[in-house]
Structure 1
Amino acid sequence: MRRLGSVQQKIPCVFLTDVKEEASRKHEHQQFQVVATENVNPVALEANVDCAFATEKLDGTCCYVAVYQGQFYLWARLDRKPNKQAEKRFRKHQHTHKSCKDFSWNVEEDFKMVPESWIPAHRVKHSNGHPIPDEHGHIPGWVPVQKSNKQYCWHSSVVDYELGVALVLKPGCDDDDLLEITALPLADLQEQTLELIGTNVNGNPYGLGSKKQPIHCLVPHGSIPVRNPPPVNFQLLSSWFQENCEGRVEGIVWHCNDGTLIKIHRHHLGLRWPDGETRLGSRPAVVRLGGASAAYSDSEGLLSWFSPLNGQRFSRLQDVHF
């Protein structure tokens, strides 16, 4: 499986963006939306985006695998955000100056508390020993997923720390279209970021599982290639998302040769998401847990439910059921 860029920071849009004073299609209660212009972002041009490797942008929640207390753990995304007073000052500055630049933060006083185990994401800038916020006023970071924390119960369902494995969705080895549900050692996923998708994440656009039998899995970032992606052109991309069966995705992430990540998603182009059946949810899938599947039957998480399905093939990912 090709290992590509780890997603630790906000990824810039492939086009320069503009802010429209109208209700967001993506974020409830947000009274503005960020839309793409037809001008390609200089960051994308500098990174030679036309020669980049295009992968599917997945609609879930970002996770990370790293060591915690001497063993490999799954970490959940937790951005440190400003408190109400600081948020008001920040928004006022943003409205007055039409920019986030030159806003002065007091990192010790302006931000909400986070758990002691919280760590800032890679490449977060520091000042006087403190991580400082990005242009959105957030400090990206991670917290370890512990079984005792019910807030992250869906994260917990895809890992077994005793066995040291995670439930992962990845492309099959012997078929371009086939997806494979498997168990991978957390050690093999070290320092990677992944997307948790499933029944109780972001409205479940991929149609996985049900309320009675929720299904979740981790998808390594950069692992689902986009076949025959269109050139980086506003009109061509807009048409591709609406007319091509391969375009039934939330967006594209380009992995450039210099390590830069660039993205586009449907909301940038004023398009709905989801809009009918998704490309990922309609792909065939097989459960391949290998010879160790019997060991997973006693697992506390989803692995025990998948164990009896070892070797079973489904015509669509969204048809997987126990």
Structure 2
Amino acid sequence: MRRLGSVQQKIPCVFLTEVRNEPSRKRDCQQFQVVATENVNPAALESGIHCAVATEKIDGTCCYVTTYNGEPCLWARLDRKPTKQADKRFKKYQYSQKTCKGFVWNVDEDFREVPESWIAAHRVKQENGHPVPDEHGHIPGWVPVDLTNKQYCWHASVVNYDVGVALVLKTHEDEEGLLEIVSVPLADLMEQTLELIGTNVNGNPYGLGSKKHPVHVLVPHGVLRIRNPPPVEFQQLYSWFQECQEGRVEGIVWHCDDGTLVKIHRHHLGLKWPVGDTFLNTRPVVVHVDETDPDASEKDLFKSFSSINGQPFSCIQDIQFEP
């Protein structure tokens, strides 16, 4: 099974899109929305979309594993964003022109400061030694997850740097349809991107854990393959999201043979997300996490998972730890 592409930048829609002057279904306070037309994106066709691998788009926050100070480290997504004044100019241009293209940024003055440890994402264009914003006015990038930084406490809960492992949800190697939560060496995840999901991420659309006992895991991008994907055709995709159990997902990400990634989000089709009874929660899961530190606190997530090591559950939402 080939390793699928990592997510370093915003993924384009599989269809050409247009901006409509109506409130966004995806972002509060955004008075316009981007919707798909029925025309397949030429870039997707050029990359062989009809032969691409279709995978479930997971709703969390993007992470990346690479070295920091010579050791494998989990990095959190931190896009460098415009200042309020620059963003106001950008949105005004976007409204008047109905497009983001052609807007001119002053990277030295228009963007907020980021930590010294910040790095730009792969394939971010550079001009005169400065990274160039994407069409959304962001400069995608990463910061290393520091276990003492409360801003990234939920990222920190899924890694143990002393042992060098991470908590990962993936498909079982031997049983199709079965998921497993395992502790994976960070060294085995190098240069991969993953999605952090759980109790305190993006409104918890999968209903994981509880306030008293949060549950978070990393999901490698591309690992949840769609077994019977619909053809890349507007009406068939719309019907699949509406009518199929497997379509109760946030979206689809296609991984093309040339490394190109393209996606469709339910919001592109005017459909609601999140939905109850997500497809992820129809799949059984088993826990395979050994104890890493006998002296860890009771709140340590690795310790909690090790207490149910070997146990099967009907779905990830059913995983609850003892009080």
The TM-score normalised by the length of structure 2 is: 0.96
Residue 297 of structure 1 contacts residue 305 of structure 1 at CA under 8 Å; is this kept in 2?
Answer: no
Give the AA of the match of 1:162. D
- Residue identity opposite 1:42 in structure 2: P
Distance 1:252 1:212 in 2: 32
2:292 aligned partner, one-letter code? A
Deviation at 1:156, TM superposition (A): 0.4
Partners of 2:199 and 2:209 within 8 A in 1: yes
Matches within 5 A, 1:170-185: 170-185=170-185
Rounded to whole Å, the distance in 1 between the matches of 2:316 and 2:2 is 21
Q: What is the rounded CA distance, in whole Å, between the counterparts of 2:75 and 2:248 in structure 1?
A: 29
Q: Does 1:42 align with 2:13?
A: no
Partner deviation per Cα, 1:131-188 (whole Å, 9 max, x = no partner)? 1101111100000010111011100000000010000000012221111000000010
TM-score scaled by length of structure 1: 0.96
Q: Which residue of 2 aligns with 1:186?
A: 186
**What do the CA deviations read for 1:72-115 (whole angstroms, capped 9, x no partner)?**
11000000011112112222222333322232211111110101
Residue by residue, what CA displacement relative to the aligned partner does 1:1-54 show, whole Å, maximum 9, x if unpaired?
752101001111011111111111111111111111111110111111010001
Determine the structure 2 residue equivalent to 1:313: 312
Question: In 2, Cα distance between the equivalents of 1:259 and 1:227?
Answer: 20
Q: Which piece of structure 1 moves more, 70-79 or 94-103? A: 94-103
DSSP-derived class of the 1:280 partner:
helix
How far, CA to CA, are the matches of 2:129 and 2:24 in structure 1? 36
Alpha-carbon RMSD across the aligned residues, in angstroms, is: 1.2
Match of 1:83 in 2: 83
CA contact (8 A) 1:297 1:303 kept: no
Matched, 1:218 2:218: yes
Which one-letter code corresponds to 1:260 in the other structure?
T
* 2:190 partner amino acid: Q
Q: Which amino acid aligns with 1:302?
A: L
1:61–1:196: 8 Å Cα contact kept in structure 2? Answer: yes
The 1-side partners of 2:312 and 2:162 are apart by 28
* Match of residue 74 from structure 2: 74
One-letter code aligned to 2:273: W
Cα gap change, 1:121 to 1:299, in 2 (>3 Å): farther
**Contact between 1:158 and 1:167, CA under 8 Å: does it hold in 2?**
yes
Number of positions where the alignment pairs a residue of Structure 1 with one of Structure 2:
319
Once residues 57 and 14 of structure 1 are traced to their aligned partners in structure 2, the CA distance between those partners, rounded to angstroms, is 13
Superposed displacement of residue 282, structure 1: 2.3
- Judged with a 3 Å threshold, the aligned counterparts in structure 2 of structure 1 residues 132 and 214 are, in CA distance, closer, same or farther, namely same
Whether the 8 Å contact between 1:11 and 1:261 is mirrored in structure 2 is: yes
Q: CA deviation at 1:197?
A: 0.3
Q: What do the CA deviations read for 1:227-283 (whole angstroms, capped 9, x no partner)?
A: 110000111111111111111111100000111001001110111112220011221
Structure 1 runs of 4+ aligned residues shifted over 3 Å read: 296-301
Distance 2:178 2:286 in 1: 7
Amino acid at match of 2:215: I
Question: Given that residues 282 and 318 in structure 1 are in contact (C-alpha distance below 8 angstroms), is that contact kept between their aligned partners in structure 2?
Answer: no
Which secondary structure state, in structure 1, belongs to the residue aligned with residue 19 of structure 2? strand
CA gap 1:297/1:42 in 2 versus in 1, 3 angstroms: farther
Tell me the distance in 2 between the aligned counterparts of 1:98 and 1:152. 36
CA contact under 8 A between 1:2 and 1:223: conserved in structure 2? no
Q: Work out which of the residue numbers 279, 292, 295 in structure 2 matches 1:295.
A: 292
Q: Is the 8 A contact 1:63 1:75 kept in 2?
A: yes
Does the 8 A contact of 2:19 with 2:98 survive in 1? no
Aligned residue number for residue 167 of structure 2: 167
What is the alpha-carbon distance in structure 2 between the residues aligned to residue 119 and residue 163 of structure 1? 25
Aligned counterparts of 1:294 and 1:82: Cα–Cα separation in 2: 44
Any unmatched runs of 5+ in structure 2? none
Partners of 2:102 and 2:291 in 1: how far apart? 58
Structure 1 gaps, min length 5: none
* 1:198 Cα deviation after fit: 0.5
Q: How high is the sequence identity, in percent, across the aligned residues?
A: 70
Alpha-carbon contact 1:297-1:307 (below 8 Å) kept: no
Q: Which residue is 2:33 aligned to? A: 33
Query: How far apart, CA to CA, are the structure 1 residues paired with 2:2 and 2:160?
Result: 24
Contact 2:8/2:140, CA 8 A, preserved across alignment:
yes
Letter in 2 for 1:75: W
Structure 2 partner of 1:247: 247
Q: Secondary structure at the match of 2:181?
A: strand
For 1:70-149, what aligned pairs fall within 5 Å after superposition? 70-149=70-149
SS in 1 for 2:152: helix
Deviation at residue 299 of structure 1 after TM alignment: 4.4
